[in-house]
Amino acid sequence: MDIKFTAILCFCVVFVLQSGTFAAGIEKDGVGLFIFGDSTVDPGNNNYISTVPQFRADHPPYGNNGFFDSPTGRFSEGRVIVDFIAEYAKLPLIPPFFQPEADFSNGANFASGGAGILLETNEGFVVDLQKQLDQFEEVQNKLVEELGSVEAQKMFSEAVYFFSIGSNDYLGGYLGNPKMQELHPPEEYVGMVVTNVTKAIQILYSKGARKFGHLGLSPLGCLPIMRAIASDPNGGCLGVGSVLARSHNSALSTAFRALASALPGLTIADSNFFDFLNDRLEKPSEYGFKEGVKACCGSGPYGGIFSCGGQREEKEYEVCEDPKNYVWWDAYHVTESIHKQFAEAMWAGSDAVIQPTNLRELFQTRLDSSHAALRDEL
């Protein structure tokens, strides 16, 4: 495995769900939204930490589609999935945890580009999942002071907790880390990652959380960067990446079902991103796209060199004329159009998209009297 392969496999991607007609927002004001993750949902937290250029997106052409006045740190030319979910739930944009003077009364976003589920993934350059949980506790304490214990606990028990994380653990943390591969066979490593996700959910459950949304992994071997590494003359994907992603999704789905059975009142809305991304990569025209393989912004084969914006090691890059025609924005991340399709499908999708319920129903659900009694004990 060469040095470039190790260096570049440390970023995560945004995945896609099926397009659909946007379902109207819920009738009542939405409950709170707390977000944990990586660059798929980072709204700009990495702007405020000491890190390296590959973990930042606070420069053009990121954020150049006109929705925001300037680059925000989102790894997209515009919005990301949780921005749309907040809109559908009749919430304002959920602020990054590090934003000065941020209002967390509707929730907080702790996601950090490059973050992993495991502490070792990009350690020292990102805010890992455990630190994000610590930050949630800070916000929780602040809201208890501001709202009072009863109202704050009501918010925590009725809020939705959204997870989008894991790609970096397999790309940089495993495939880009020969030492980790020597220490752990794939099945064992997947088990380690999945165990840490379930621990995180249990920690939040102990603090009052009951409703979770989860973004599974895509076929990771089909990122533009991975196609470039595969060097297949036919443009094929790097199979090992997709195999790991599918194993992770399967193991985590099983773990989620076990958790939901063991913990009263717990609901985890888990989504099937793997198959829906494949659909758009293989048949982009059926979903309103012209290009499902090459990135809009970048350089090299398939736009697979992570050079978008010229702030990283490779300075030369090109940007396509209309990102709306593309599935991929850069070597790792998809366009705003994909984020929107993704959000619509999670919001109002069927069992084929998200189980055992969609996000619209999750946001509308209020705790029954027995759960309210449990909430008051917390």
Note if 333 is an active site residue: yes
- The pairing of strands 33-37 and 107-109 is parallel
Distance of CA 320 to the CA centre of its chain: 24
| Tokens read off for 136 | 């949630």
SS3 content of the chain, % helix, strand, coil (to 5): 45, 10, 45
Note if 339 is an active site residue: no
Amino acid at residue number 77: E
Active-site pick, 39, 112, 242, 307: 39
Which long-range contacts does 248-253 make (Cβ < 8 Å, 24+ apart)?
A: 248/166, 248/170, 248/190, 248/193, 248/194, 248/216, 248/217, 249/216, 249/217, 249/273, 249/274, 251/190, 251/191, 251/194, 252/194, 252/197, 252/214, 252/216, 253/216
Note if 39 is an active site residue: yes
Active-site pick, 248, 299, 307, 333: 333
| Tokens read off for 292 | 């499902």
In the chain, the N- to C-terminal Cα span, in Å, equals: 50
Residues belonging to the active site? 39, 330, 333
